[in-house]
């Protein structure tokens, strides 16, 4: 799952394989969505679990309701100033349709993944780089289901 090169929100290229050995939570995010307050929960999870090996990767997407219209610079500023986001953020991508980015193509075609249905869908990658779980967009980051999965994957 992590055999992809992606562009960080600051424009630098990154090999996702650099996160092998960690538990990775990949989330498609948007600034103007009813789920946008989930940034707080994601940041809280990152602060709580990053020392144990959790990394959260935010991928802005404008695929649902045009709820992420900004540039990478505007998105970075929004996340930082409104939610104090310090987890890694990446350049805007497509998570569905003909222009789907290769990472999301793999996430959606590999069980237990599936089609991205809205902003803030959550995909967990285990320490070996395998897709381990997917949670629906409305599932809150700090929900029992998500925190139990984090604890299980962190071991």
Catalytic residues: 33
Q: Count CB atoms within 10 A of the CB of residue 128.
A: 10
Q: 72: part of which helix (H) or strand (E)?
A: helix 72-83
Say how many C-beta atoms besides its own lie within 10 A of residue 154's C-beta.
14
Closest by alpha carbon to 43, among 61, 25, 30?
A: 25
Cβ contacts of 101 within 8 Å, gap of 6 or more: 6, 59, 93, 94, 95
């Amino acid at each position: 799952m992590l055999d992809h090169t992606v562009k960080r929100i600051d424009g630098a290229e990154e090999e996702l394989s650099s996160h092998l050995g960690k538990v990775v939570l990949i989330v498609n995010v948007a600034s103007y969505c009813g789920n946008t307050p989930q940034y707080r929960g994601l940041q809280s999870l990152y602060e709580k679990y990053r020392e144990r090996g959790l990394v959260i990767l935010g991928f802005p997407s404008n695929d649902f309701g045009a709820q992420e219209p900004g540039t990478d610079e505007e998105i970075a500023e929004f996340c930082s100033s409104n939610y104090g986001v310090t987890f890694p953020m990446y350049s805007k991508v497509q998570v569905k349709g003909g222009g789907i980015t290769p990472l999301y193509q793999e996430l959606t075609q590999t069980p237990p993944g599936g089609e991205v249905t809205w902003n803030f869908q959550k995909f967990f990658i285990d320490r070996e780089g395998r897709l381990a779980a997917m949670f629906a967009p409305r599932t809150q980051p700090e929900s029992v289901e998500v925190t139990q999965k984090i604890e299980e994957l962190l071991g």
